[in-house]
Amino acid sequence: MAKKKAAGGSSGRLLEALRVPFGAVDLSTFDPRATTGFEGDKEAGKVALAGLGDEVSDWQERLFAEGRSGGTRSVLLVLQGMDTSGKGGVIRHGAGLMDPQGLRITSFKAPTAAEKRRGFLWRIKQALPGGGIIGIFDRSHYEDVLIARVRELVAPPVWNRRYGMINDFEQELAENGVHVLKCFLHVSAQEQKVRLAARLDDPTKHWKYNPADIDERELWPAYAEAYEAVLERCNTDAAPWHVIPSDRKWYRNWAVTTLLLETLRELDPQWPKADFEVEAEKARLAAAL
């Protein structure tokens, strides 16, 4: 079962390499085609991703066991990015390596009237992972300072207040044992165009296409500015941001899965100790019908 990597490896390296430095953020300085921390081509990347499966599953099961034994720690992977950046692909190919019993995946759409009435963080809190679970958010509370800001769904003082509310909320999460891993899937406008065209060319992908996608695309500069504000104002020690170069799907999938693996290694969950007398139970079982 235990498939921990050999000591002296690259533990934590990608978490540091992709972490957004504190301070002002200029997205144009992040290369969406980079393959930071990986040496090799697409084929090697796919092999490397599959190769993470055993270790990430083993850590997941340890965390799950810890939760079943009363532990309250959990992981929350927050995925943000423009349309076609691959939030779904990361879940399918990365999270798909793990046991679905230990995952809680939530895809956030436009909030309902009842949800809005309770404040933007309410539905987020409803979806938090319990102890031992790896939660994954496909979009999140960050939409409330992204589309809400760009589309002017609320007044500027409202979205402006939210950055601080988000930081306070994420600080609380950290204190309560929810380890937040935030990933911005950074795709270029050119690559998005290629991917939207591919959806239009393939009848089995038409269901993924929405004419409104092009309307959103027209607002690309405003979204870039809103993302820069997020990466600058909500980048904290409690919940730092990572930018994932996402023009290459294979790299994106490998990178996010590696960040998750490094996060689990740092949490280092251990198999729970028996809270019963092992030898006595063996004797009881042997004597049982």
108 is a site residue for its own copies (CB under 8 A): no
47 is a site residue for its own copies (CB under 8 A): no
Phi/psi for 239 (5° steps) reads -155, 80
Contact predicate 244/18, CB 8 Å: yes
Neighbour-count burial for 54-69, b at 16+ CB within 10 Å, e otherwise: ebbbbbbbbbbbbbee
One symbol per residue from 4 to 43: x for binding its own copies (CB under 8 A), - otherwise; what is it? ----------------------------------------
Which residues ranging from 147 to 186 are in contact with its own copies (CB under 8 A)? none
Token reading at 33: 């085609």
Contact predicate 127/104, CB 8 Å: yes
Closest to its own copies by CB, 81 or 240: 81
DSSP 205-236: GGGG--THHHHHHHTHHHHHHHHHHHHHHT--
When binding is defined by CB under 8 A, the residue of 103, 133, 166, 259 that contacts its own copies is 103
Which residues ranging from 69 to 98 are in contact with its own copies (CB under 8 A)? 69, 88, 91-92, 95-96, 98
One symbol per residue from 194 to 233: x for binding its own copies (CB under 8 A), - otherwise; what is it? --xx--x--xx-xxxxxx--x--xx-x-------------
Which is nearest to 105 in space by CA: 139, 54, 65, 142?
A: 139
105 is a site residue for its own copies (CB under 8 A): yes
Cross-strand partners of 243: 184
Residue 203 carries which side chain, given as an amino acid letter? P
Instruction: Using CB under 8 A, list all residues that contact its own copies.
Output: 1-2, 65, 68-69, 88, 91-92, 95-96, 98-101, 103, 105, 107, 138, 189, 193, 196-197, 200, 203-204, 206-211, 214, 217-218, 220, 271-274, 276, 278, 281-282, 284-285, 288-289
